[in-house]
Amino acid sequence: MSRLYLSYCTIQHFYRLLRSNSTLDYLRTNFAPVTDSLVIIPTYKEKENIERIIRKVFSLEKDFHILIVEDNSPDGTADIVKRLMKEFPEQLFIEERKGKLGLGTAYIHGFKWALNKGYQYIFEMDADFSHNPEDLLRLYDACANQGADVAIGSRYIKGVNVVNWPMGRILMSYFASVYVRMVTRMKIQDTTAGFKCYRDEVLKAIELDKIKFTGYAFQIEMKFTAWKLGFKLKEVDIIFTDRTEGESKMNKSIFKEAIFGVMELRWRSLFKKYKRVA
């Protein structure tokens, strides 16, 4: 009888333990998600594109989860995402911020969220279809099966694969990458690319809070830091198509940060010892 009572008490204790908030939080944090891949999409005024891009990613043959990092869009982008979350409760997530805080900080926020949830492959992608969601599969393959630590969707491996850009912007982007290669000495054709896949080990090894830049120089700084830490960067040939819906976020201040930020990045690297975070 005493053994039976002891077993009953043990079961009751275990049941209460499972029901406790601390245990549930532990399980959420420490057990891996259903898929190994998370696509981070920063948004600001993307109501024309956001539902289509989410549905397209979820239609792919591989399972991806999506995290929307939403910067308080005044056009109702967040409302569209929240409506879709009811349809995709285990695949679609949103993190809302107080305002437009910059592309780099949006991705840093998403990286930390992804690492906390246990994803192994973490993607950057725009909401406006300039990045073809089909290419997520190729970026994943480069990291999961071809030995890359960072897979980069590159516009400039085979000439210039850009659609719907005026010639002036194409030349500016292309020669910006040439300039970055010259200054940083990275062997990357598309140094400013923003369509990427990271293995989780890369993001864990980088001191994310010390990444300085917030605009397009952020993309250069992340590649440069991963390269300096000894990770393997691999470019995957893609076709970049400029947005047809919504407003472009490119402006002169963003481009200026990229140009002058590269010189600062290179200068700081001469006096910095790059070490992977334990």
Tell me the mean pLDDT in the region 138-149: 98
- Contacts of residue 183, defined as CB under 8 A and 6 or more positions apart, other chains included, come to 262, 263, 265, 266
- Whole-number average pLDDT of the chain: 85
| Span 80-139, pLDDT tens digits | 999 999 999 999 999 999 988 889 999 999 999 999 999 999 999 999 999 999 999 999
124 DSSP β-pair partners: 40, 196
Q: Which pLDDT belongs to residue 268?
A: 85
CATH architecture of the domain with residue range 24-269: Alpha-Beta Complex (3.90)
φ, ψ dihedrals at 166, nearest 5°: -65, 155
DSSP tally for the chain: helices H, then strands E: 10, 9
Mean pLDDT of 194-223: 93
Q: Which of 195, 201, 221 is nearest to 210 (CA)?
A: 221
Q: How far is CA 132 from CA 48, 53, 98, 117, 219, in A?
A: 16, 9, 29, 26, 18
How much is the pLDDT for 17? 47
Which 3 state secondary structure label does DSSP give 73? coil
Q: Which long-range contacts (CB under 8 A, 24 or more apart) does 216-219 make?
A: 216/103, 216/192, 216/250, 216/254, 216/255, 216/257, 216/258, 217/104, 217/257, 217/258, 217/261, 217/262, 217/265, 218/102, 218/103, 218/104, 218/107, 219/191, 219/192, 219/193, 219/194
Band the pLDDT of 158: cuts 50, 70, 90: confident
Domain ranges of the chain: 24-269
pTM: 0.83
Q: What share of the chain is helix, strand, coil (3-state, %, to 5)?
A: 45, 15, 40
